[in-house]
Amino acid sequence: MAAKSSGIGLPARACLFVIFAAGLAHATGARAAGDRAYGEYLSSECVTCHLLGGRFAGIPPIIGWPEETFVAVMNEYRLKVRPNPVMQTLAGRLSDEEIAALAAYFGSLAAEPAAK
């Protein structure tokens, strides 16, 4: 006997999962309260592509983001909601603690002033 389909497609299920996970994280107090120094230590792989100066060179800057935004985006990559195989792989290897630390570090940085 074939299982009945709920009528919800895969993208919708992924979106519902992200919403559920975000709500669960909020309810349990799991917030971006990372260790900035640890984030700086972990950042070497990130800054290979994402420039610390914040200047766009084909890859979006990640400095100065609110910590909660950084964490949410990284979790979307981990859950493969955002379509970028490189970022999905990198984010998939990080723990919640490491993502929070990176969020604290990159969130504390400001873009360099544009050269004149």
| 104 or 28, higher pLDDT | 104
**Phi-psi domain of 64 (left: phi exceeds 0; alpha: psi -120 through 50; beta: other):** left
CB 45 within 8 A of CB 94: no
**Confidence bin at 51 (pLDDT 50/70/90):** confident
pLDDT digits (tens, 9 = 90+) for 1-47: 554 545 555 555 555 444 545 554 444 344 447 999 999 999 999 99
CB neighbours of residue 12 within 10 Å: 11
3-state SS class at 56: coil
Query: Positive or negative, the Cα torsion across 101, 103, 108, 112?
Result: positive
Q: What is the pLDDT of residue 16?
A: 47
Q: What is the pLDDT of residue 53?
A: 81
State which CATH number among 3.40.50.1820, 1.10.3470.10, 3.40.50.720, 1.10.760.10 fits the domain covering 32-107.
1.10.760.10
Mean pLDDT of the chain: 80
| 59 or 102, higher pLDDT | 102
**Any idea where the domains of the chain sit in the sequence?**
32-107
Q: What is the pLDDT of residue 86?
A: 96
